[in-house]
Structure formats: C-alpha cells, structure tokens
Amino acid sequence: MLPTLHDPIFRSLSDPTRRALFERLCLEGEQTVAALTEQAGISQPAVSKHLRILKEAGLVSGRQAGRQTRYTARAEALAPLVDWTRAMSGFWDAKLDGLEDLLKRMDQ
Amino acid sequence: MLPTLHDPIFRSLSDPTRRALFERLCLEGEQTVAALTEQAGISQPAVSKHLRILKEAGLVSGRQAGRQTRYTARAEALAPLVDWTRAMSGFWDAKLDGLEDLLKRMDQ
DNA sequence: CAATATAATAACCCGTTGGTTATGCATTAC
DNA sequence: GTAATGCATAACCAACGGGTTATTATATTG
C-alpha cells in the first residue's frame, strides 16, 4: 500500500535487465555505459535510463571521467532489503546481525 | 536480462500493495481474504489477484476452510533473495550461513 | 576549428499491470 | 430449497514501464 523506504530498491531490482546491470557492477566492478551496453542487448539510451533508476534507488553511483561515466555498485544500499527480509522471516539470531553491520560499514 | 529463479519473488514484492499483504501475513499469521481486503483499501477481486501472484511466487499458500480461504506466508520462500543479496554484497563469512539454513529448515 | 565519441534527454510506441465492476461457484444459514 | 456469504474468474480500462529512434551537450582527437 504505502511506499516505504525500501520501495525503490524492490522496484528497481524487479526488472531483470536492471538486476543484470547491478549484478555485473557488483561482480566486475566499475564499468562505463558503453561497456554495459555492449552486453545488455539493448540500446544505450535504454541502459542509461536503467542506470538512472538504479542511481535514484541508491544502488549505483556514477562518476564522470572525461566524456564517459563510470558506474559502480553500492552494495551497502541493499541493507534495507536485508532488514526487511529478517523482519519478515521473524529471525533475530545475533549470529546474523553481521551482514547488516558489514553492509553499513561498507558505507565508510 | 534472463529471468532467473528469484525473478518472480522480486517481481511480486515490487508492488507495495502486495508487499503489504505479505507483511501482514508474516506478522499476524493466517488470514482470510475478507480480513485482508478490509485493510487493503482495494476491492476483494484485486486482493485475490495479488494473492494469486504471491502464491505463484511461492510466497504464500492458501488452504480451503469451508467457503473461505485462509492464506499463510511462506517465509522460507525468501531464501533465494537472501542468497542473491549475499552474493551481491560479496560477503561469504560463515557466520551468516545460518539464516539461509534456518529458512530451509523452516520448510520442514 | 572541425570531426568524432560518449552519454543523457526527448518524444514516442506498445505491452503489461493494477485497478474496477460483473459474474460464477461453492458453501453455509434460514 | 432458497437466500446469503466468501472467494475466484472474466472482461474491461487507464496508467505505467521498458523499449525504440532522434537529438543534444560535452569532451576528446586530428
């Protein structure tokens, strides 16, 4: 019903193309739009639109490097998702607090 | 790009109304369609449609009880989401293996 | 400076989706 | 047996979303 804090995260990750972009940035590190486009199987504007949405959700950040933009994944942004999942699973074991903490520490 | 195993989970949870339904089932336990409709702010058919989608994603299950259907959350179904999040966060510390294991054990 | 390269924005198209009302089908109640 | 209740399905509709091509802005290269 009412969109919450983690709503844009769920929303942006619900699209397979966007998830693939995010996954690639997570696994292979910083990438230019051109590099991402090459493998995405869609046009550059489409990729740029997806990156914009991911960026607004806080899942990626882009830094200007000359005439190209290098995008990076921000895995810490997944923290609300971890929170929510833990809340829903009704599981509060201290052993698991580590992940959330780590994600927050990654924020530096 | 290519829809994977966790795709229907992300997809169904991307809608705020559906997420609210799932949350309520998680936090308050088994509910009838009428009870869910009462708080959802939308029509009963709309609620039924959402429940169908959640059910197809494995996130809820419905059992017939006379002329009413009681729906229950299946928190174990969140396991792929936990997997994926851990993979993306690049965090493999053994301390965290517990959550996934527990979710699987909840499946009984 | 002119030409090229990179990425973002604009304008548009079409399929999907989340909502509605109407209807059907069991099951319970009178 | 008839009426009423609970839920699912059908048919429909407006809004949204993900794609396209065309264009623009800014950097780099010759």
At A18 the pLDDT is 98
**Residue A9: CB less than 7 A from any atom in strand C:** no
Q: Tell me if B95 is assigned to some domain.
A: yes
CATH for B42: 1.10.10.10
At B77 the pLDDT is 96
Q: Tell me if B32 is assigned to some domain.
A: yes
pLDDT tens digit string along B34-47? 999 999 999 999 99
As for how many domains chain B has, the answer is 1
Neighbours of B85 (CB within 10 A): 21
Residue A105's Cβ-count burial label (10 Å; 0-12, 13-18, 19+) is: exposed
Q: Tell me if A2 is assigned to some domain.
A: no
Q: Tell me if B1 is assigned to some domain.
A: no
- Give bridge partners of residue A63 from the DSSP assignment: A70
Which residues, including other chains, have CB under 8 Å from residue B67's CB and lie 6 or more apart?
A: none
pLDDT tens digit string along B59-101? 999 999 999 999 999 999 999 999 999 999 876 544 445 555 5
pTM of the model: 0.87
**Residue B48: CB less than 7 A from any atom in strand D:** yes
A27: tokens are 């696994």
Q: Tell me if B68 is assigned to some domain.
A: yes
Neighbours of A75 (CB within 10 A): 20
Residue A107's Cβ-count burial label (10 Å; 0-12, 13-18, 19+) is: exposed
Distances (CA, A) of A61 to A9, A50, A69, B4, B5: 14, 12, 10, 25, 27
**Residue B3: CB less than 7 A from any atom in strand C:** no
Give one DSSP letter per residue of B39-96, joined into a string. HHSS-HHHHHHHHHHHHHTTSEEEEEETTEEEEEE-GGGGHHHHHHHHHHHT---GGG
Q: Tell me if B2 is assigned to some domain.
A: no
Q: Tell me if B87 is assigned to some domain.
A: yes
Contact B19 A10 (CB under 8 A): yes
How many beta-carbon pairs under 8 angstroms link A with B? 98
What are residue A55's phi and psi, to 5 degrees?
Answer: -65, -45
Cross-chain CB nearest to B26 (options A1, A73, A90): A90
Cross-chain CB nearest to A20 (options B1, B82, B89): B1
Confidence of residue B108 (pLDDT cuts 50, 70, 90): low
Looking at residue A11, its amino acid is: R
Low-confidence stretches of chain A (pLDDT beneath 70): 91-108
B52: tokens are 């169908």
Q: Tell me if A1 is assigned to some domain.
A: no
Q: In Å, how far is A67's CA from the nearest CA of chain B?
A: 27
**Residue A74: CB less than 7 A from any atom in strand D:** no
At B3 the pLDDT is 82
Half-sphere CA count of B35, side-chain side, radius 13 A: 12
Contact A14 B16 (CB under 8 A): no
At B41 the pLDDT is 96
Domain with B12 in it: 7-105
Higher pLDDT among residues B103 and A59, named by residue: A59
Average pLDDT score over residue span B55-61? 98
**Searching chain A, which residue's CA lies closest to the CA of residue B47?**
A1
